[in-house]
């Protein structure tokens, strides 16, 4: 029997702005990986990446090496396989010793001189050079972009392979160091904190960045431009934005709410999980939640606050997507549904319960319209072309809101905090979240998840209205 939760939306006289529906298509990425890899275990576990490159913008050329620290997982391993495309490999070494390898078809197989055992840690060094290519997805390409204003990487969902060797799946998170040399007219930013910058002569400068937190490959980045740095030194979390000089005044106005938003989400979700937060401006087609350093398209920086909901959506990803990362792409809603609901929570913070109702009504109506177009897909494991869609964003957010209604505010937000603490810096699945919700609430929720997460569509009601012509009322 279908179980239905209905929320009656009653609006008061408070002046609540219309939710900014125009941000919805900007927030949705509408990209998808070529395949869904549901295997969350492979023969090794990457512990760290150290990416050391020199970039020649004029020739759109890179040269350097990547060191990969790998801990062996299987009992015996004689080959390490990495995702890698487009580059010319010069040398491959393991623990300082040259080894043979096979390279082609997007795979680099490193042949170990002797089998490694579970628990061993190996350092793989790959030296390479080449002209990185942009590999297309339905919405944006993955790889390194060379534009008039910026050089930047964009690799969601599985595009790190186009400029450094990696195990390019979201379930293998690792720390990342980037040591990148660019022309000295540019400032280069990345994940984490800047460790050093050294003028190396010949008009070049080397920036060293370190992010000592586990990071999925799709969340790693660099961006280089003639950036102005906007720093907020008053907040407990260091906030540093990197924007074009001509947009700096608008950025100051637009980003002024970020400290308040960090504080608010820290109350709801738990303390901010990383060593800094900021935005970098580039040519991306919207927002991308690179860990600690979110990429924003220039058009979002207006000085009017028009895209505030994009900003808080991307900020919320620091908890949902970055701190806790989906185990594979079937669980995309754990990233995007959570970040979309965080928008509604921000609207609630600004405009109270009536504001929350208005925002949720808007999300619900967007999904109903989407479903009316024939998009009857479940939130969990939708068709690949709809991985980033209204189903995994707006519908997933409304289902989270229903869960909040079902178990109550206290248990709902305790569920979020417990889920975050349990899977902090690792990966989680839909069942992991369900199990936490059941544990915290004391409720059996199979029926709820079966109908709303694993099932498709929304309730349809048939009704008949009778009029009593003999009544005076």
Task: Give the CATH number of the domain where residue 424 resides.
Answer: 1.10.390.10
3-state secondary structure of 63: strand
pTM over 0.95: no
In a domain, 320, yes or no: no
Alpha-carbon span 310 to 47, nearest angstrom: 32
In a domain, 129, yes or no: yes
177-186 pLDDT, tens digit each: 999 999 999 9
pLDDT at residue 431, as a whole number? 96
In a domain, 61, yes or no: yes
In a domain, 421, yes or no: yes
123-144 pLDDT, tens digit each: 999 999 999 999 987 657 899 9
In a domain, 254, yes or no: no
- Domain span at residue 109 reads 42-133+159-216
Mean pLDDT, residues 293-312 taken together: 98
412-430 pLDDT, tens digit each: 999 999 999 999 999 999 9
333-364 pLDDT, tens digit each: 999 999 999 999 999 999 999 999 999 999 99
Residue scoring higher pLDDT (46 or 465): 46
Q: Is the domain of 60 the same as that of 192?
A: yes
Last residue of a domain, one of 216, 236, 251: 216
239-275 pLDDT, tens digit each: 999 999 999 999 999 999 999 999 999 999 999 999 9
Going by pLDDT thresholds of 50, 70 and 90, the confidence category of residue 465 is confident
Q: Which H or E run includes 296?
A: strand 294-297
Task: Give the CATH number of the domain where residue 49 resides.
Answer: 2.60.40.1730
In a domain, 322, yes or no: no
Tell me how many domains the chain contains. 2
In a domain, 350, yes or no: yes
Q: Is the domain of 331 the same as that of 210?
A: no
Instruction: Give percent of the chain above pLDDT 90.
Output: 82
Going by pLDDT thresholds of 50, 70 and 90, the confidence category of residue 145 is very high
Residues contacting 203, CB < 8 A, separation 6+: 183, 184, 185
Q: Is the domain of 202 the same as that of 58?
A: yes
pLDDT at residue 3, as a whole number? 32
In a domain, 24, yes or no: no
CB neighbours of residue 262 within 10 Å: 20
199: left (phi over 0), alpha (psi -120 to 50) or beta: beta
**3-state DSSP helix/strand/coil % of the chain, to nearest 5:** 30, 30, 40
pLDDT at residue 31, as a whole number? 52
Per-residue pLDDT at 287 exceeds 90: yes
């Amino acid at each position: 029997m279908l179980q239905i939760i209905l929320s009656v939306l009653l609006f008061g006289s408070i002046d609540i702005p219309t939710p900014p529906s125009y941000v919805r298509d900007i927030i949705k990425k509408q990209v998808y990986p070529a395949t869904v890899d549901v295997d969350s275990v492979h023969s090794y576990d990457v512990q760290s990446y150290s990416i050391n490159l020199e970039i020649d913008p004029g020739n759109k050329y890179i040269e350097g090496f990547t060191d990969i620290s790998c801990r062996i997982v299987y009992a015996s391993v004689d080959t390490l396989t990495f995702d890698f495309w487009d580059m010319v490999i010069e040398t491959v070494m393991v623990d300082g010793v040259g080894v043979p390898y096979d390279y082609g078809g997007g795979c680099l197989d490193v042949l170990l001189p002797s089998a490694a055992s579970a628990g061993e840690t190996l350092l793989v060094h790959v030296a390479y050079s080449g002209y990185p290519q942009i590999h297309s997805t339905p919405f944006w390409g993955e790889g390194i972009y060379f534009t008039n204003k910026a050089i930047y990487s964009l690799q969601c969902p599985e595009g790190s392979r186009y400029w450094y060797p990696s195990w390019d799946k979201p379930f293998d998170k690792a720390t990342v160091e980037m040591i990148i040399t660019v022309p000295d007219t540019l400032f280069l930013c990345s994940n984490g904190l800047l460790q050093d910058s050294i003028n190396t002569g010949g008009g070049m400068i080397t920036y060293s960045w370190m992010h000592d937190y586990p990071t999925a490959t799709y969340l790693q980045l660099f961006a280089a431009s003639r950036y102005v740095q906007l720093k907020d030194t008053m907040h407990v979390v260091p906030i540093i934005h990197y924007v074009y000089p001509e947009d700096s005044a608008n950025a100051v106005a637009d980003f002024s709410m970020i400290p308040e938003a960090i504080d608010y989400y820290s109350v709801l979700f738990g303390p901010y999980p990383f060593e800094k937060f900021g935005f970098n401006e580039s040519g991306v087609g919207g927002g991308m939640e690179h860990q600690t350093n979110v990429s924003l398209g220039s058009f979002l920086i207006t000085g009017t606050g028009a895209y505030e909901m994009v900003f808080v959506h991307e900020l919320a990803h620091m908890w949902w997507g970055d701190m806790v990362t989906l185990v594979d792409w079937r669980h995309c809603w754990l990233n995007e549904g959570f970040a979309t609901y965080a928008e509604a929570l921000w609207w609630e913070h600004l405009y109270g319960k009536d504001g929350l109702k208005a925002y949720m009504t808007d999300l619900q109506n967007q999904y109903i319209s989407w479903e009316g177009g024939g998009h009857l897909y479940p939130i969990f494991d939708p068709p690949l072309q709809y991985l980033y869609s209204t189903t995994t964003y707006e519908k997933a957010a409304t289902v989270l809101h229903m869960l909040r209604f079902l178990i109550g505010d206290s248990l709902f937000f305790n569920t979020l905090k417990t889920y975050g603490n349990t899977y902090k810096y690792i990966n989680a699945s839909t069942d992991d979240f369900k199990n936490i919700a059941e544990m915290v609430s004391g409720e059996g929720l199979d029926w709820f998840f079966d109908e709303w997460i694993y099932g498709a569509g929304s309730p349809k009601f048939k009704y008949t209205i009778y009029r009593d012509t003999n009544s005076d009322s």
